[in-house]
Structure 1
Amino acid sequence: MGAATFTLTEQSKAENAVIAQGLKRQDANLLDELIVRYQHRLLRYLLYLTGNREVAEDLFQETWMRVLLRGAQYNGNARFDTWLFTIARNLLIDLRRKRTMASLDEMCESTEDERPFEVASDAPNPFDHYKTQEDGQRVTEALLTLDPLHREVLVLRFHEDLALDEIAAVTRAPLSTVKSRLYRGLAALKPRIAAVSEAPLTGGKAATLSRHSLRESRRGAV
């Protein structure tokens, strides 16, 4: 491990510890800082999961209320954003169950191949190719046609820069399943982009969400 990596890791651990201590004290100033820092990422994640701005905004508010009320449960061992996304995801699952809808895990109709899959490290993965070749709005529109589980993994990996083991923690799925979903999501994205590219862009869901590709849209607000 290089010195820079070691320093960054130690800095991250120290920051997590400060957040954990502040949440235990229910520090209002800290909560305000966290909301400012993570509000765009959290809302963006919920928009991609729900495809509905009104539902996403309701869950957004409820997530921060849960952080305030249950902040003492965060121990700092994981990144705060991983814990935050886990809360948001669990709230969505609870909402769907209350509405007698399937949970996220039940919304995947296809049988997943649980075999591990590793993206080659010495070559660009398919998503990198798409995001440099296609208009970002079309990428967003194509993403919204994917199976929710595959869409979620793509968003967490390429939009939020979570590591695969962190995605496994958020989704409570085995690492091999996360890798399978990532691979299948990338494989499904190309024909979906081709399909939406053949038709003119519409206002609908694509306009509701980001106008940039997953990686590029991180730079702007929702």
Structure 2
Amino acid sequence: MALAIPQIHAHEHTDEQLMQRYAKGDAKAFEQLYLKHKGALYRYFVRQLGDKQLAEDLYQETWGRVIRAAASYEPSAKFNTWLYRIAHNLLIDHVRAVKPVDLVSHDNGEGLDTFAGQAQSQPDVHWLETQKSLLLKNCVALLPQVQKEAFILNIEMGFTAAVISDIAGVTLEATKSRIRYAYQSLKDCVNAKWQEVGHE
């Protein structure tokens, strides 16, 4: 009769525990945090800015601030909220520095012209869905910065309105309004652009 050897599972640490371990010098804990959050954090900046190089710069600075703040980290909020608050503050600093430019996509509407030119010749369903996606992306770029951020954090990152309000440092009602206005603006924008290219 064979003896059953119990499986030993590696203990899964929360993000907060990993950050506390990193603060005490455990570099592997930071590596785990970085690997877990790097993709979503980078996408957050790319979607907000539309400029991959600038997104990379702010992304790296966010991790730099996480490293510098490690010794003083207190898990009073979820790590995710704390991380995105750092990212949010960097984004706000950048927006203030470049005003009055409102971080709009730099394609000068060329994508819309291409879309209009191809609309008549390709009735393919997949193609239409792809074009609707491009219209939505174009419309997201046109949103005011606070609405764009709320929309991206809610839809793409899956954060609740309560978490977004903590990240942005605004009331829950203000966050809900931003999300609601973003949805309405996007609906109106996509419908208008869709009709511009001859679709009902």
Alignment of 1:118-137 (within 5 A): 135-137=132-134
Alignment gaps of 5+ in structure 2: 1-10, 103-128
Aligned to 1:83: 82
Deviations 1:69-128 (A, max 9, x none): 10233322322221111101111222344x363699xxxxxxxxxxxxxxxxxxxxxxxx
Query: Relative to 1, partners in 2 of residues 1:137 and 1:103: Cα closer, same or farther, differing over 3 Å?
Result: closer
Aligned to 1:154: 151
**TM-score normalised per structure 1:** 0.63
Aligned to 2:39: 40
Number of aligned residues: 161
**TM-score normalised per structure 2:** 0.70
Following superposition, the deviation at residue 165 of structure 1 comes to: 1.3
Cα separation, 1, equivalents of 2:181 and 2:94: 27
Query: Relative to 1, partners in 2 of residues 1:141 and 1:177: Cα closer, same or farther, differing over 3 Å?
Result: same
Aligned to 2:99: 101
Residue of structure 1 aligned with 2:142, choices 133, 145, 148: 145
- Which of the two has higher C-alpha Rg? 2
Query: Relative to 1, partners in 2 of residues 1:53 and 1:195: Cα closer, same or farther, differing over 3 Å?
Result: farther
Cα separation, 2, equivalents of 1:27 and 1:185: 41
Mean Cα displacement is larger for which, 166-175 or 86-95?
A: 86-95
Cα separation, 2, equivalents of 1:96 and 1:34: 27
Query: Relative to 1, partners in 2 of residues 1:18 and 1:60: Cα closer, same or farther, differing over 3 Å?
Result: same
Following superposition, the deviation at residue 163 of structure 1 comes to: 1.6
Per chain length, whose mean CA-contact separation is higher, i.e. which structure has more relative contact order (CA < 8 Å, sep 6+)?
Answer: 1
Deviations 1:8-65 (A, max 9, x none): xxx99x6144123123224221222222111111111111222221111100111111
Following superposition, the deviation at residue 151 of structure 1 comes to: 1.1
Cα separation, 1, equivalents of 2:100 and 2:85: 18
SS at match of 1:144: helix
Q: Say whether the 8 Å CA contact 1:141–1:196 is kept in structure 2.
A: no
Q: Say whether the 8 Å CA contact 1:74–1:83 is kept in structure 2.
A: no
Q: Say whether the 8 Å CA contact 2:22–2:28 is kept in structure 1.
A: no
Over the matched positions of the two proteins, sequence identity in percent amounts to: 27
Query: Relative to 1, partners in 2 of residues 1:178 and 1:22: Cα closer, same or farther, differing over 3 Å?
Result: same
